[in-house]
Amino acid sequence: MMTKFTTLLAATALVAIAGCAKKPPAQLPPAPSQTGDTGAGTQTGQANDQMTPGSDADFRRSVTSNTVNFGVDQFDIDPTARAILDSQAAWLARYPNVRATIEGHCDERGTREYNLALGDKRANSAKNYLVAKGISPARLTTISYGKERPVALGSDESSYAQNRRAVTVVLN
């Protein structure tokens, strides 16, 4: 997460500079794919959105984290996850028109289909917590990626721990 955060800050800084220059880019970047499955936390948002209140970029900068982690084969929300989700709930309460999807993910030590089911449990655990904190369930959708979209690529405990996660992504 730290690495990603640093990258994000760097990207934001670059965007800020570009924004001052007010020069249109020579070539427009390709439109983000509507059908592609980017999966968790991949930064597909348009550069300009990063400064827009209520955007996913704003969300990621404002909350403790967009990601909560889980124990092995677990889907319960532990105290660390609670604090993170509390910050997410507070932000979502500030922007009542914003919708979000929660992605559930697993480490690679489960079979593919079981992990789809387990990822669904994790996404719903996070969703249910946010709903309990007053966020309308109509604003929240869930999707499970099972083990299809890891963020840490090793076959080791540290990677597994990072990959067992639910990621809240604000839909713009």
Partner 1 sequence: MRYFGRLLAAAATLVAIPALAQQQPAPAPGQQPAPLEVSVTGGVSEPMPIAIPPMPTAAVVQTPAGSTDALGRQLSDIVANDLKGSGLFTPLSPGRLRAVAFPEVQAPAFDFWGGTGAQALVQGFVRANGDGTLTVGCYLFDVSSRIELTRQGFVVPPSDWRRAGHKCADMVYTRLTGEGPYFDSRIVYVSETGPKAKRIKRLAIMDQDGANHRFLTNGQSIVLTPRFAPNQQSIVYMSYVGKVPAIYVYDIGSGRQRLVAQNVATTFAPRFSPDGRYILFSMATGGNTDIYRVSSQGGAPQRLTTSPGIDTGGSYSPDGSKIVFESDRSGGQQLYVMNADGSNQQRISFGGGRYATPVWSPRGDLIAFTKLGGQFRIGVMNAGGGGEKILTNGWQDEGPSWSPNGRVITFFRSGQGGSGKADLWMVDLTGQVENRIKTPLDGSDPAWGPLRP
Q: Which amino acid is at 71?
A: G
Phi and psi angles of residue 120, each rounded to the nearest 5 degrees, phi first: -65, -40
- Does residue 164 touch partner 1 according to CB under 8 A? no
Q: Site residues for partner 1, window 43-72 (CB under 8 A)?
A: none
Non-local (6+) Cβ contacts of 118 within 8 A are 73, 75, 104, 106, 110, 144, 146
Query: In the structure encoding, which two tokens stand for residue 47, read together?
Result: 């550069």
| Residue 23 beta carbon to partner 1: minimum distance, rounded to whole angstroms | 31
Chosen residue from 65, 66, 69, 125 binding partner 1 by CB under 8 A: 125
**129 binds partner 1 per the rule CB under 8 A:** no
Report how far residue 24's alpha carbon sits from residue 52's, in angstroms, rounded to the nearest whole number.
19
When binding is defined by CB under 8 A, the residue of 28, 97, 113, 158 that contacts partner 1 is: 113
Instruction: Give residues with Cβ within 8 angstroms of 148, minimum separation 6.
Output: 37, 39
Site for partner 1 in 71-110 (CB under 8 A): 73, 75, 108-110
Selected range binding partner 1 among 1-9, 10-18, 33-41, 77-85, rule: CB under 8 A? 33-41
Least separation in angstroms between CB 102 and partner 1:
11
Residue 149 binds partner 1 (CB under 8 A):
yes
Please identify which residue in the block is written with the tokens 């209140």. 53
Q: Does 155 bind partner 1 (CB under 8 A)?
A: yes
How far is residue 118 from each of residues 13, 105, 127, 142, 167, measured CA to CA in Å?
37, 8, 14, 12, 14
Q: State the minimum distance, in angstroms, from the CB of residue 141 to partner 1.
A: 9
Residue labelled with tokens 């499970």? 144
Binding site for partner 1 (CB under 8 A): 33-39, 42, 73, 75, 108-114, 116-118, 120-121, 123-125, 128, 143-145, 148-151, 153-155
